[in-house]
């Protein structure tokens, strides 16, 4: 296990975000399995954040996906709004800058300075958040009937490759779903490691994590650059904990993700590692483990002037009917659990309403 010292700005505070190589575990090596489970246990008990390398998601799938989302976000706003999340009954599609406010620490915080695109499993419209995805359609090409000087000039201009021209809606959807499937598979393997790390049977979370109707959200983000005068302090995403059980985040090389060291109230950078997954524990896992595993607060600082940042968070929120209650290995006999048992669906409804305000009510009405 390697680790990075991220404390340049806060030399007195030690925050360790370990880098865990799971290739041996995935290859079926029993020693590597024990070692990886122990490393997960330590990381989750400590900071609740780690980075996974040696995983199963091919670099080519990541690269195609990142190229696809960058070309989508470069489209004109009017085109992106055609697949706006506000048109979806199940929260799919495009979310414009400021569409969500995740900050849980500061009521006066501005909405998140990010735009997003949300995809889940494609299903008929059903229970909370279940339904069809929204995908961008090709723009109809208009052909002028008679050629004039003006239309000739326009035709010349249209030879210039613009973002609209390079956007390929078929490639976007295909690369997105290939990425979704690959990261969903990885999340199932990570849940297995989490089970082992908690001294449970390896398949303990399988039904939750692999349910074909379970809620998984794959949300791509674009963080536009911030002006120099606001450098370092604008919120790409406000301080929050993740709602679900497990998050796997792919980030580009720009950086900006920070985790909170609660005892000192200091923020620490999570350094980008090409192709790695930042893996963090969400609230459901903290409840399951009776506070043994930490759902740590984090935020994103907007990138400096001139730089666009792209990332993608995959949240495996699991089967809606699961009752989350203190795991048998997370309390001593006779000890009362910290939390009352709760249903995944009820928990998610509450957190969506909090972060989306009135716009979230469409999901539960
Ligand atoms: O983009 C990132 O680095 C983090 C995003 C995040 O925390 C979230 O979507 O919950
Ligand atoms: Fe998050």
- Picking from 315, 325, 322, the residue whose alpha carbon sits closest to that of residue 288 is 325
Pocket test of ligand 1: the residue of 48, 246, 249 to mutate, having most ligand atoms within 8 Å of its CB, is 249
Q: Which residues, in sequence order, are bridge partners of residue 281? A: 246
- Residue 342's H or E segment, with its range, is strand 342-343
Q: Which ligand is nearest to the CA of 271?
A: 1
Q: Please work out whether the CB of residue 242 comes within 6 Å of at least one atom of ligand 1.
A: yes
Alpha carbon of 361 to ligand 1 centroid (Å): 23
Alpha carbon of 86 to ligand 2 centroid (Å): 21
CA distances from 361 to 129, 344, 354, 356, 357 (A): 12, 18, 10, 8, 7
**Residue 256 confidence (pLDDT) above 80:** yes
For 229-238, 260-269, 299-308, which range has the lowest pLDDT when averaged over its residues? 229-238
Q: What is the pLDDT of residue 112?
A: 78
DSSP assignment of 4-61:
EE--TT-TT---EEEEEE-HHHHTT-HHHHHHHHHHHHHHHHHTSEEEEES-SS-HHH
Q: What is the pLDDT of residue 229?
A: 72
Cα dihedral 155/156/161/164 (nearest 10): -30
For 145-149, 153-157, 163-167, which range has the lowest pLDDT when averaged over its residues? 153-157
DSSP assignment of 235-272:
EEEEEE--SSSEEEEEE-SS--EEEEETTTTEEEE---
**Residue 155 confidence (pLDDT) above 70:** no
Q: What is the distance between the alpha carbons of residues 53 and 300, in angstroms, rounded to a whole number? A: 22
Ligand 1: residue whose CA is nearest its atom 5:
313
Pocket test of ligand 1: the residue of 311, 312, 351, 355 to mutate, having most ligand atoms within 8 Å of its CB, is 311
Q: Please work out whether the CB of residue 221 comes within 6 Å of at least one atom of ligand 1.
A: yes
Residue 299 Cα: closest atom of ligand 1: 7
Mean pLDDT of the chain: 88
Alpha carbon of 148 to ligand 1 centroid (Å): 50
DSSP assignment of 135-195:
-PPPPPPP--SS--HHHHHHHHHTTS--HHHH--HHHHHHHHHHHHHHHHHHHHHHHHHHH
Protein residues near ligand 2, an ion, with CB under 5 A = 242
In the block, residue with structure tokens 């379970």: 214
**Residue 363 confidence (pLDDT) above 90:** no
Say which CATH superfamily domain 19-134+167-358 falls into. B-lactam Antibiotic, Isopenicillin N Synthase; Chain (2.60.120.330)
Let me know how many helices (H) and strands (E) the chain has, helices first. 10, 15
Residues 171-205 pLDDT 10s: 999 999 999 999 999 999 999 999 999 999 999 99
Q: Which ligand is nearest to the CA of 299?
A: 1
Task: Report residue 146's pLDDT band, with 50, 70 and 90 as the boundaries.
Answer: low
DSSP assignment of 105-123:
S-TTPPPP--EEEEE--B-
Q: Please work out whether the CB of residue 298 comes within 6 Å of at least one atom of ligand 1.
A: yes
Task: Report residue 360's pLDDT band, with 50, 70 and 90 as the boundaries.
Answer: low
Pocket test of ligand 1: the residue of 111, 256, 271, 313 to mutate, having most ligand atoms within 8 Å of its CB, is 313
Q: In this prediction, does ipTM exceed 0.95?
A: yes
Q: What is the distance between the alpha carbons of residues 262 and 250, in angstroms, rounded to a whole number? A: 24
Residue 123 dihedral angles phi and psi, to the nearest 5° = -140, 160
In the block, residue with structure tokens 């048998």: 328
Q: What is the pLDDT of residue 270?
A: 96
Q: What is the DSSP letter of 84?
A: B
Percent of the chain predicted with pLDDT > 70 = 84
Alpha carbon of 216 to ligand 2 centroid (Å): 14
Alpha carbon of 279 to ligand 1 centroid (Å): 11
* Number of CB atoms found within 10 A of residue 153's CB: 10
Alpha carbon of 311 to ligand 1 centroid (Å): 7
């Amino acid at each position: 296990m390697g680790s990075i010292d991220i404390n340049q700005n806060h030399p007195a505070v030690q925050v360790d975000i370990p880098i865990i190589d799971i290739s041996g575990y995935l290859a079926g090596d029993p020693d590597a399995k024990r070692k990886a489970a122990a490393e997960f246990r330590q990381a989750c008990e400590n900071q609740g954040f780690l980075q996974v390398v040696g995983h199963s998601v091919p670099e080519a799938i990541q690269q195609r996906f990142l190229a696809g989302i960058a070309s989508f976000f470069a489209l004109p706003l009017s085109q992106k709004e055609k697949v706006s999340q506000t048109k979806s009954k199940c929260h799919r599609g495009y979310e414009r800058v400021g569409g969500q406010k995740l900050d849980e620490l500061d009521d006066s915080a501005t909405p998140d300075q990010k735009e997003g695109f949300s995809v889940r499993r494609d299903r008929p419209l059903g229970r909370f958040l279940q339904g069809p995805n929204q995908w961008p359609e090709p723009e109809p090409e208009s052909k002028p009937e008679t050629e004039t000087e003006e239309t000739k000039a326009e035709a010349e201009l249209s030879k210039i490759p613009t973002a609209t021209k390079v956007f390929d809606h078929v490639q976007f959807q295909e690369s997105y779903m290939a990425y979704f499937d690959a990261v969903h598979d990885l999340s199932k393997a990570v849940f297995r490691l989490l089970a082992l790390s908690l001294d449970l049977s390896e398949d303990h979370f399988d039904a939750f994590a692999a349910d074909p109707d379970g809620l998984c959200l794959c949300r791509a983000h674009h963080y536009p650059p911030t002006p120099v005068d606001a450098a370092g302090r604008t919120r790409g995403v406000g301080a929050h904990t993740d709602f679900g059980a497990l998050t796997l985040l792919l980030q580009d090389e720009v950086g900006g993700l920070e985790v909170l060291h609660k005892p000192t109230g200091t923020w620490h950078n999570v350094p980008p590692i090409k192709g790695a997954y930042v893996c963090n524990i969400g609230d459901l896992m903290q409840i399951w483990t009776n506070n043994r595993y930490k759902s740590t607060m984090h935020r994103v600082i907007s990138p400096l002037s001139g730089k666009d940042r792209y990332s993608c968070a995959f949240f495996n929120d699991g089967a809606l009917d699961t009752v989350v209650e203190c795991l048998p290995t997370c309390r001593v006999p006779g000890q009362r659990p910290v939390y009352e048992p709760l249903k995944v669906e009820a928990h998610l409804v509450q957190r969506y309403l909090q972060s989306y305000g009135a716009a979230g009510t469409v999901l539960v009405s």
